[in-house]
Structure 1
């Protein structure tokens, strides 16, 4: 009887260990799929007290982006300077390779933007979508990312 219990427990441990390894490998593969082709430097402007912005910068760092965080007291001026329409604003504005990235935009949308290089000011995840990167909530609320053009217009670029 003891040998059957031992075999059962051994198989259980092997199964759990295999599952853990599979999760680690899957996470690694998912990250590799969205990695920047090289380390991409960026500057993120944010209010000094905003912690979700820092979480987004950490998230981006996992995918090869080197985000320099610049706390500022003049966010409205930053948004005006980089032509972010008021209905597209979020808590932080990041400059990446000539584009403004407004808010908690997922890495795959930024990579797409940098690969396609459209004539645009940048992209935005307006507001602070609860299920966007850096917000770290358990909600799975759908949200859109918008492409912002030079004239202040926007159109859906990606849906999540």
Structure 2
């Protein structure tokens, strides 16, 4: 099996598995090898105490993983994470991930669509655009999980 097929298969299997509590919050992140904002977001996540396994993958593999996980183009961003059976799409703040893991919602996961300036990994000086973290429900719809101003 080729490396990209293995990564896609392993990621897909984990997405479809039921959420399970882990002793240490460990996240797998798929990203493009050249994305600087992804690296900055990963540093934010690691600074919050998460252990991150980063996989640089070609764009077609990344988009296939998003699709398989239930992340549509409208909900997507530049990187996709997986933690305890949840998908974390884009520049989701670590505090929102911690809250999701504590509350254990029966959902696909969280997303911050696009790349809002001021979100973790997208810092640009003092500029900060308001953004929302969305909870992605199993039917593909979303509700606001938290608002950031």
Which interval holds the TM-score relative to the shorter structure?
A: 0.7 to 0.9
Could you list the runs of 5+ residues in structure 1 that have no partner in the other structure? 1-36
C-alpha contact (below 8 Å) 1:45/1:69 kept by paired residues: yes
Higher RCO (C-alpha 8 Å, min separation 6) = 2
Could you list the runs of 5+ residues in structure 2 that have no partner in the other structure? 1-21
Aligned length: 124
The answer to whether structure 1 residue 58 and structure 2 residue 53 are counterparts is no
> Could you state the TM-score of these two structures normalised by the residue count of structure 1?
0.74
For 2:109 and 2:37, locate their aligned partners in 1 and report how far apart those are by CA, in whole Å: 21
Cα deviation digits, residues 119-142 of structure 1 (max 9, x gap): 100000000011101112121110
The 5 Å alignment of 1:42-121 reads: 42-73=27-58, 74-121=61-108
For 2:67 and 2:79, locate their aligned partners in 1 and report how far apart those are by CA, in whole Å: 13
C-alpha contact (below 8 Å) 1:120/1:149 kept by paired residues: yes
The answer to whether structure 1 residue 153 and structure 2 residue 141 are counterparts is yes
Rg (Cα) greater in structure:
1
| RMSD, aligned α-carbons | 1.3
> Could you state the TM-score of these two structures normalised by the residue count of structure 2?
0.80
Match of 2:110 in 1: 123
4+ aligned runs moved over 3 Å, structure 1: none
Match of 2:10 in 1: none
Q: Between Structure 1 and Structure 2, which shows a larger proportion of helix residues?
A: 1
Question: What is the CA distance between 1:38 and its match in structure 2?
Answer: 6.0
SS in 1 for 2:54: strand
1:134 aligned residue (118, 121, 144): 121
Structure 1, 122-131 or 133-142: larger mean CA deviation: 133-142
